[in-house]
Amino acid sequence: MKEKITAWWNKFAMYMRKYSTPAQLTVFLSAITITFLLFVPPINGDADNGTFFITLHGNGLYQLPNYPYTAYSHIALKYGIMQYFNSYPHPIVSTTTFFVQIAIALNKLFYSTKIFDIRFLGLTYFMFYLGALYLLTNAFTSKQKTSRDYAIALVIWFIFSDSSLTLFFNSFYLEPVHLITMLYAVGAYGLIARRYYRRLWPMLIVYFVAVFGFIATKQQNTFFVAGWLLTAFGMFALTKTRVQKLAVAVTMVLIVGAGLFSNYCVSTKYNDENKYQSMTCGILAESNNPEKALADGGISPQFALLRDDPYFKTYTALDVHSKYMKDNFLNKYNYLWITSYYVSHWNQFNQLLNAAAANAQNMQMYGLGNYPPHSGHPAKAQTHYFMLFTLAMRAFFPRKFMFYVLIVFVFICFYIYVAFKGMRKKEGEPLMRCMMVMNLIVIMIGTFFGTIIGGGDADLAQQLFMVPICLYLLILIFTVDILHKKLW
């Protein structure tokens, strides 16, 4: 049986070798898979969970008054384009604006100057995503187009064309930008490590732009600058000339600058939202004595009434936007105090980490519809088209934070050995691969910590989006290294 499967696979690879490269195969299959999800009726996407207005208003868009109200229940396909002065200041500087503005320009060119169809945003993400998959596949396959390379191409298609990832494209969430920039950065870095192209600088530019785009997507990504600096440091093992070393050093400085820029551009309102939920949905939510927890921090115990209240809750015990709230609650603590609280209350923090780990593989956000209002599907109906991989991960992956720690330990041991072996042979690629693995680990574990400290257990499935993405990339890198026999 094994011989028959091997013979069939070699025959398939030989046939594909005549007509396409592994990267082209990945792009072709992904294009077909994603097109049916995003553009073929019934159109699929992710409904608004109450946060779309941040991106809408900042980009001159608004919800149409005569369009059915669809928050949570269905996706809205049409939005209005503001024709006059936009009185809404942009509350958050984000890379998302770049993609939304391209989509609006395409919409005005091919459809309407007054009505925005969200499928143009889906199309914008879709085209950039195919480019990211092309780079990623080239980074993990050889130019010889072996049967193993086509197997890797199919693995990349199977994992990264999963609808749980691409549903976000027809929405105004930040997750598509995280996904696209991450894949571009990993792909470009892999191509640099392998010296896939004769010139270093084109992929170095792609790498930096992708990293900058990732960091500038939202404030919390500032904490991941350390991980990206590790990858840039790994490039020194590959550089030979002074110009190349200078280029890498400049890249490291620019990465730090991107983190500072992202943190500086966050509005007070957005920062207040995160601080508020880090207390109400974090410390107060899991505390056995929330009044004492507040009193120990010099905060009035009456604010325990806000326990489990998200920032955008319609009716709250106190007005979250009032001066009284700001002076007597939000200004009384900061993230350093929250961190020190969790250090001294480790059991409570561990409970929140386990709650996060239990939700980390829920890529499809619970309680949000995936269909438009007139599709005939009931409110909050969700699609299960091409979700085998993420459904399997959700069903079988352990839901304890310590299991992620165990995975991290195994990867660190393997890839430190790989890097050490490469250094003995004076090879730069193994060290760079090790640095990328470390970066993915920093982002994956950092997302857990940053989510709990920066927002409690509010919107866990959305806030933990980078955890499964990093895990999938680690699995991919490990699989590729096994197939190419680079671990021994």
Residue 487 pLDDT: 66
Judge contact between 434 and 234, C-beta under 8 A.
Answer: yes
Residue 210 pLDDT: 93
As a whole number of angstroms, the distance between CA 221 and CA 3 comes to 48
Average pLDDT per run of 10 along the chain, which is 488 residues long? 68 74 94 94 87 82 77 85 72 80 94 92 96 95 86 94 93 92 95 84 89 85 85 80 80 80 64 76 79 82 77 65 79 83 86 88 83 85 89 89 93 91 83 92 91 76 88 94 78
Helix and strand numbers (H, E) in the chain are 22, 3
Q: Distance of CA 174 to CAs 82, 159, 302, 477, Å?
A: 22, 20, 35, 25
Structure tokens at 65: 């008054």
Residue 233 pLDDT: 83
**Phi and psi, residue 81, nearest 5°:** -105, 120
| Sign of the dihedral defined by the CA atoms of residues 376, 461, 152, 132, in that order | positive
Judge contact between 87 and 57, C-beta under 8 A.
Answer: no
Give long-range contacts, CB 8 A cutoff, 24+ apart: 339-342. 339/453, 341/283, 341/293, 341/297, 342/283, 342/452, 342/453
Judge contact between 307 and 284, C-beta under 8 A.
Answer: yes
Burial class (CB in 10 A: 0-12, 13-18, 19+), 206: buried
Residue type at position 79:
Y
Judge if the upstream peptide bond of residue 42 is cis by omega within 30 degrees of 0: yes
Q: Distance of CA 254 to CAs 7, 191, 248, 370, Å?
A: 50, 20, 10, 39
Helix (H) or strand (E) holding 78: strand 78-81
Judge contact between 217 and 96, C-beta under 8 A.
Answer: yes
DSSP 281: I
As a whole number of angstroms, the distance between CA 28 and CA 130 comes to 9
Comparing C-alpha atoms, which of 389, 378, 438, 368 is closest to residue 409? 438
Residue 91 pLDDT: 55
As a whole number of angstroms, the distance between CA 89 and CA 92 comes to 9
Residue type at position 219:
Q
